[in-house]
Structure formats: C-alpha cells, structure tokens
Copies of this chain bind each other. A is one copy, B any other.
C-alpha cells in the first residue's frame, strides 16, 4: 500500500496538533467571553491559513500545509471525517416528535421562517445577479436556489446551546425555536442535496465527479433516501437498538453501530452524487430519534466530536481562503442585510399569524437567525463545486459568525431569564482560605468576612455584623462538618461566596455534634430571593457526599478546589465510570 513517509507523518501530526491546539485555545477564550466556541475556532483557522501565517511566514505555511501531495490528502481525509461526524451530531439533535407536537404558532414560524427567506434569497439573486458576483451567462437558477437555501437555513447546534444557556429549553419559546430550526435544516439540506445533484450532473462542472447519474435520477434517489431513512430506516434502527444494547458490549456496540451506519450513509449519498454529509445527517436523525438511544452513548459521541473533530473542521475553514484579500465590504453588508431581513421578517410574520406575543416573537426570530456551522458547510461545498467565489464564501462565513454572536444577547433581552449560579464560577482568587486561624464560629465569620467584604466592595464590619446576627438566630450548621453562615446584604449586586477550611474544627452548634471543618460564608443581594436558596442547595448536595468532603478537605489551592467542584457539579460518579471501563472488552490488547 502506498503510505505516508515518516517525514510526511510528522508534518501531518504536527499540523493536526497545531490546528487542534490553537482551535481549542481560541474556542475556550471565546467561551469565556460567553460567545460560541466556533467563532474562536474559525479565527484560529484564519491565523493559521493564507490570511495570516501564509502571508507572514509563507515558507513555514507551505511546509506545514502544502497544497498538493500526500500531506494535503491526509488533511482532507481527516477534515472529511470531521464534517461527516459533525453532521451526525447535528442529526442526533433533531427530534422529529418535537416537530409534530408544536401548535399553530410553531407551524407558522417553521414554514414562513424557512420559505420567506428562501423566497427573498431566490428573488434577490435574480434581481441583482452582478451584485452577488454572478457573471452573465452563468447558471443563475442554480445560484438562486443555493442563495435561497443559504438564507433559509438555521444552525440547530448553536440554537440548542443558546436555549440551554438561557434555560429556555423546555419553555414555549424554546420549543418553537427548536422545532422551527429543525424544519429549516431538514428542508434546507434536502433542497441543497438536489442542488448538488444538479451541479454534479451539469455539463462541465466537476464532470469527473458524478457516477454517471442524470440529475433526475439523483433527485429521485435523494428523495427516496430521505423517505426511506425517516420511515423504514428509523423503524429498523429503533428495533435494532435494544438487541444491540442487550447482546453486544456496552456502550461500544451502539457506538460502533452508529458510526458504521454513518459512514455507510455518507458513502451512499456521496455515491449518488450529493455530498457525504447529507447521509451522515440522515443517519443522525434516524438514530437520534430512537427512544432506546441512551444518554451515555450520546455523551461520548458528543464530547469526542465537539471537542476534537469539530475544532479541526472549523480551523480548516480558515485554510480555505484569504479572508482579508477576499473580504468585500459591500458584498458582505449586502449578504448580511438580505439574510437578516429574510429570516427575521419571515419569522415575525409567522409568529404574528400564529398569534404569539410580540416579545416572544422577537426572541424566536433572533433565535432562528443564528446560522453557525450549517451556513459555513453549505458555503464551503458551494465554493468547492465552483458555484460561488471566495468573496461570497467569506461573506457567508461572516454572516454565520455575526448572526451566531448576536443571537444570544438579543434573545436574552427579549425573554425573561433566570441566572443559574454555579459554585465554581463564584469561587475567585482570595476567597478560599485553606487554613483558618479562627477557634470559634464568631472568629471564623470575621475571618471570612474580610475577603468577602473586599470582593463585594463593602465595609468588613457591616458584613460580619449581618452574618453574625443571622447566625445568632439559628445555627447555620448543616451537620456533616459543614456550616453556611449567610446574609442578604443591602447594596450587593451579585452573590459572594468565601470558603474556609479549619484543621482543628470549630463548634458551630451542629445537630450531629461534630466539629465544623468547611465553612461557606455566603452573601446575596436582598432582591434576588432565588440565589441564596440555589447556592446553599448546591453546597449541601455536593459536600454531604463523604468522598467529595474528604477531597475538599485535602485541597490546598483554589485551583484544586475549583476543579473538584466543577467536575463534581457535572456529576458522573467515578465509581460508575470505572464500572463502565471494566465492562469494556480487551480490544486494544
């Protein structure tokens, strides 16, 4: 077999390491700014691509990312797998039952939020072809179909994530947005597959690609595949999963089954002349729809794809074009304007006809307007098939990023939002005292009030007095060596939590008679009733576990304690996980 040479292997591995590493760093940085990771990942790609690295250090760039030869093929192999797996995950998130269960408003938003932007894009393409960079004599129909689709598609994963962040997932607004976005995606991909079929069968364009099928055949096969997968295929998967889970290794059996189906589906759609990712998407829908698909399998797939394959794909976007040279401000503004108008107007119209309240309608519209990965994948394919040029591709990437970035703040503005407090986010430098000097409850409260008051920008005496007053009315000991002295403090804007460890143990008058070793001093704003209850509940739930308490008592630095809290707040118990590891057969032996 023809193989990569050792030198090529070291280049490719280095390239993957750099792509993944930079993508993760930028993704995390954007997450911390409460932005989708995809924005950072694409920026990392622009840095590594022709835009920056290729301009500043062309030799290094050509060494790591050559445009021809085995190394280029190796990159393309992994990127292809990455996008196939990404679409599998996108498909897994589509729950067909959500589509049927929504009422009239959802139906209206789905249909008008998809068809109206499609119509706007289609008409816009015909009205001003030159503005969009289409030369006279080019295939305007295909471009118009593409442009309409590009404007009508949504980004289900981004939307799902925003819904989770805003805690809207099970609300009316959330369900309507999710259902409508699924509808957009499903319809959009079907139309786009047909466009690809047209392109592949079209004269001249990529003539070597197609397998000799006419455009009609491709379209019929595509529709057949959709109907088959979503009916018979879905039924078969649902029937097979219990057997696989009961007879084969767990969760390896389901993982393998899902990936084999995905690869086979992807190969099939590629063979009939549309792109591999459409097959992966369909398989994702069929598998994800089964009630027998367990959360653990989803998690493993989701984590691996989200943190490994997706970043590699998004970085590769930046390698595709020079984002400075091909940036055309007029074109980009035009694309943004028509895309935002089409989507938001269509959704508002649907919401109005469905009788939704105005603020909810606006929230739904901005939610639907988020186009992340989907828009970019669509644009990339169109670029590769020669349907659009670099400038339009760059404009579509900007549209995807910008619409994703503004979606969450706008939705949050239009719907009421309850903040979820997390212990690890409350912990900051100086608020953890690993070794209290205090001997009594009063001394401990004073000692912890100092950093807490400083963090809150309030006088120490005030804080200590209020907390002590509360403590005197009734002990705040929770038993289990824990105490949570607390107070609502006038003038405070956000909760403050200080944690102290006592080696000797302090008498907090606990019911179980044990000395208190972990003391949580909690200050909350007077008007936020839920914060205090929520944070105290988290503390009690977490630290009543003997193992976690022991680990916390052994932590000597803020980082260790925070890592403990964070990994335990998302609680998959170690014991359970180890049992799963032990379940695994000896495959890597």
Contact = CB atoms under 8 A, between A and B. Distances in A.
B587 A41 contact: yes
A303 B1 contact: no
Contacts of A77: 4, 12, 73-74, 77-78
A37 B583 CA distance: 13
Interface string A137-172: 000000000000000000111111110100000000
A357 interface: no
A495 interface: no
Contact of A582 (B27, B31, B164, B581): B164
A572 interface: yes
B302 A3 contact: no
Contact of A255 (B74, B246, B303): B303
A339 B31 CA distance: 54
Contact of A306 (B68, B306, B587): B587
B243 A13 contact: no
Interface stretch (A265-273, A484-492, A503-511, A538-546): A265-273
A69 B584 CA distance: 37
A586 interface: yes
A426 interface: no
A161 B586 contact: yes
A372 interface: yes
B245 A567 contact: yes
B563 A242 contact: yes
B302 A303 contact: no
Contacts of A7: 208-209, 211
Interface stretch (A79-87, A116-124, A217-225): A79-87
A579 B588 contact: no
Interface in A1-40: 1-7, 9-14, 16-17, 20-21, 24, 27-28, 31, 36-38
A404 B589 contact: yes
Interface in A273-310: 273, 275-276, 292, 294-296, 298-300, 302-308, 310
The winner among A38, A77, A424 for most chain B CB atoms within 10 A is A77
**Interface range on chain A: under 10, 10 to 19, 20 to 34, or 35 or more?**
35 or more
A555 to B, nearest CB: 9
A572 B580 contact: yes
Nearest to A88: B588
A134 B424 CA distance: 63
A143 to B, nearest CB: 20
Interface in A546-563: 557-560, 562-563
A17 B264 contact: yes
Contacts of A589: 36, 38, 155-161, 370, 372-373, 404
Number of copies: 2
A14 B578 contact: no
A533 interface: no
Contacts of A573: 572, 576
B76 A303 contact: no
A430 to B, nearest CB: 15
Contact of A253 (B28, B424, B587): B28
Contacts of A68: 1-2
The winner among A24, A292, A587 for most chain B CB atoms within 10 A is A587
Interface in A287-336: 292, 294-296, 298-300, 302-308, 310-311, 314, 319-320
Contacts of A257: 24
Nearest to A316: B1
Contacts of A37: 249, 585-587
Interface string A29-58: 001000011100100000000000000000
Contacts of A384: 3
Given A17-B260, A158-B586, A584-B303, A246 B562 contact: yes
Contacts of A294: 567, 574
B587 A13 contact: no
Nearest to A159: B589
A588 B90 contact: yes
A129 B424 CA distance: 64
A410 interface: no
B208 A5 contact: yes
A200 interface: yes
Contacts of A13: 80, 84, 263-264, 266-267, 270, 276
B27 A587 contact: yes
Contact of A585 (B78, B161, B247, B567): B161
Contacts of A4: 73, 76-77, 80
9 interchain residue pairs of minimum CB distance? A158-B589, A161-B586, A372-B589, A252-B307, A17-B263, A246-B562, A10-B270, A13-B267, A245-B563
8 contacts: A5-B209, A37-B586, A73-B73, A155-B589, A156-B589, A242-B563, A570-B579, A572-B573
Interface of A: 1-7, 9-14, 16-17, 20-21, 24, 27-28, 31, 36-38, 41, 65, 67-70, 72-78, 80-81, 84, 86, 89-90, 155-162, 164, 200, 206, 208-211, 241-243, 245-253, 255-257, 259-260, 263-264, 266-268, 270-271, 273, 275-276, 292, 294-296, 298-300, 302-308, 310-311, 314, 319-320, 370, 372-373, 384, 404, 424, 557-560, 562-563, 566-567, 570-574, 576-589
